[in-house]
Amino acid sequence: MIESVERDINATIKGRIAECIADELFKELGFFVMKYGQEHQVEPITQLQNFIKRCGGNFKLKYSDPKFENSFDFVRRMPDFLIVKNNFEPELLEVKYRRTGIFEDNTGVKDKQINAFFDNYPCAVLLLVVDKSKINPDKFKELYEDLEVAEEMINTNLQIIFSEDDENNNEEVNYIPQPLVYWLRETYNIPIAESKPIIAKYDKLIGDWLNSK
């Protein structure tokens, strides 16, 4: 019983640290960041709209969207953060600590919670804070055709995962992590030369934290 409680507390602490790292990382990358998970005080939709507009973001909440039956449901499903970049659509960001990334202790079995997350938050982005020293490179390389991308992912403690439209309408979609620098370039036109030094700083911070335990 005591061991179970200690594990829960340890997981909660790691999760909170991961959220703090993500908060500061995206602010340094030039985003406006609002804490918006269930553990934080939820503000009304109108206040959310005003925040996005003040940050220069584009707000297009469609109440008819089947993902959100009503405004209350929209708020209830909000992940940890709302991030806004000037002149871009706002992004819902969930942050999780996963020691071995998308694999369950490198067994080769994908973490079922990844798919479950996107079932609940189909329009959000998931940032995983991982321990790259615990990742099995061989298992990871199987995910990518581009070895350069595979090497990038093996050598980072930060993995970004997002849902893409499934053109084949398959019931099960494979969510594969992507390098954060590529996602920032493709989604927000942030040059890799600009984002990489910032990400590298936080990558090292995560490594130092994990190695100090």
Cβ 80 vs Cβ 93: under 8 Å: yes
User: Tens digits of per-residue pLDDT, 57-81?
Assistant: 776 655 555 545 545 555 555 688 9
In this structure, are strands 158-162 and 125-129 parallel, antiparallel, or unpaired?
antiparallel
Chain centroid to CA 83: how far? 11
Chain centroid to CA 51: how far? 21
Q: Which domain holds residue 168?
A: 2-211
Q: Token match 């909440």: residue? A: 61
How would residue 19 be classed by pLDDT, with cut points 50, 70 and 90? Answer: very high
Domain count, the chain: 1
What stretches of 85-179 adopt beta strand conformation (E)?
91-97, 125-129, 158-162
Rounded to whole angstroms, the Cα distance separating 166 from 191 reads 28
Higher-confidence position of 203 and 7: 203
User: Tens digits of per-residue pLDDT, 159-209?
Assistant: 999 876 555 555 555 677 889 999 999 999 999 999 999 999 999 999 999
Rounded to whole angstroms, the Cα distance separating 93 from 36 reads 9
Rounded to whole angstroms, the Cα distance separating 37 from 32 reads 16
Residue 18 has pLDDT above 90, yes or no: yes
